């Protein structure tokens, strides 16, 4: 029974990552794409790793999975933010004209 639950949770995580990848292809500019990847991959990988932790036959200890979840939770949003910030500083094209940064 727990193998079925862990498989369902891992499939849910894979679907979240797939939806995030669709956002990568469909969104028009780098800011929208980095938003989709930052949110979708963080949630999807956390759910996927949680499903791996629930799998009784995987042989993965709980501490390793918790460490991997924490590492993903910290690094993926930071990397997404840094890519968006660099894109802003390099004045990469946007899909609409931005408002003025300072009044």
pTM: 0.78
Of 38, 39, 61, 37, give the one whose Cα is nearest residue 49.
Answer: 61
Residue 59 pLDDT > 90: no
Tens of pLDDT, residue by residue over 35-57, are: 888 888 999 999 999 998 888 77
The terminus-to-terminus CA distance of the chain in angstroms comes to 59
Of 55, 52, 76, give the one whose Cα is nearest residue 66.
Answer: 52
Tens of pLDDT, residue by residue over 8-39, are: 999 999 999 999 999 888 888 888 888 888 88
CA 24 to chain centre: 11
Using the 8-state DSSP alphabet, how is residue 99 labeled?
P
Q: What is the pLDDT of residue 1?
A: 83
């Amino acid at each position: 029974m727990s193998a079925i639950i862990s498989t369902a949770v891992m499939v849910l995580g894979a679907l979240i990552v797939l939806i995030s990848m669709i956002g990568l292809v469909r969104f028009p500019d780098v800011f929208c794409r980095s938003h989709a990847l930052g949110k979708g991959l963080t949630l999807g990988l956390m759910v996927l790793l949680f499903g791996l932790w629930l799998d009784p036959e995987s042989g993965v200890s709980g501490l390793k999975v918790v460490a991997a979840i924490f590492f993903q939770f910290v690094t993926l949003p930071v990397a997404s933010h840094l890519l968006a910030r660099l894109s802003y500083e390099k004045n990469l094209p946007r899909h609409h004209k931005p408002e003025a940064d300072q009044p």
